[in-house]
Structure 1
Amino acid sequence: MAPISVYGASKAAGEDAVRAAAGRHAIVRTAWVYSPHGQNFVKTMLRLGRERPELGIVDDQHGCPTSAADIADALVAMALRMTEPGAGGHDALYGTFHFTGMGATTWYGFAREIFALAAGHGHPVPGLRPIATSDYPTPAARPKNSVLDCSRLRAAYGIEAPPWRDSLAACIARLCPQFLEQTA
């Protein structure tokens, strides 16, 4: 693992601290997290879609959009499994795991799906233009490929995330009424 930013290095340091201090542990890595709460890409897109007629969205970074609700469900399932009688003897239940929404896309593909779903709720849809990472400089370097292999979690716990589009549809259904009320 070679973090490409201070953010990534701090996450790696946190994982190393857990490994050093905790004995048996389960670390769950995820990416591209969104929810109806807090600040995230989905909410930013909906806000910008109201404010601007066109958006340039990065189309050369790949990842798996992941619902915070799906992460919570997976963590609860893991915790319940770890507390079953005899679970302590199953080494496969401990270590580092990956959990992301099923299926990969780019930020541009994610934005297209956000607005396709939001349009069904009467939300305005801006023009979307795919751009390169180099056209959208950020202070922190971002990986071109954030797709994580979730097979270890599936093998150890039988946990698999739903397709990211399904979870996004549920999030959009919760968010769009809020966003439409803000413009009324």
Structure 2
Amino acid sequence: MTTNTPYQLAVVISSVREGRFAPVVANWFLDRAKQRDDVALSVIDLAESPDGLSAGVAAADAVVVIVPEYNHSYPGPLKTALDNTGPEWHGKPVAFVSYGGISGGLRAVEHLRPVFAELHAATIRETVSFPYAWTQFGPDGEHIDTDGADLAATTLLNQLNWWANALRAARRARPYAA
């Protein structure tokens, strides 16, 4: 599922907590995305540059949000960052890689879907999720049971490729009007 022109994929690391697990999950996902010839990657780490979200999303054809579940939802700094953006998201696909306790961050994802709908972004169905994430990765940061997670990442990236290219072509043919 590749095209001649790679799509610009921005990966947003949304946790800003000290001692966060986000870099482990993000590095795992980025390693899989880097193996593809249909993706040109950029990383937006809200802990390092919270003001970079707007420009990073504006330049992207698609976005993957690496999101933990905090108190049955997503991190407050992500909400603040999203509330300070707008048109950058219009007509762009968004996918999620979530992690957390028993739900694997899926409650955070479900809370984010209507937020992205308000931003006129299209969330894709497939999600990579890590329940009890801290037990699923070894000390080297590698996922212990690679088959299931790798398949989920491949499926997500395949679907994101379709959406990114379809919506990029649509935005070029006719600018999105909210």
Please indicate, yes or no, whether the TM-score normalized by the shorter chain is above 0.5.
Answer: no
TM-score (norm 2): 0.29
Bigger radius of gyration, 1 or 2?
1
TM-score, normalising length: structure 1: 0.28
Which structure's residues are more often strand, by fraction? 2
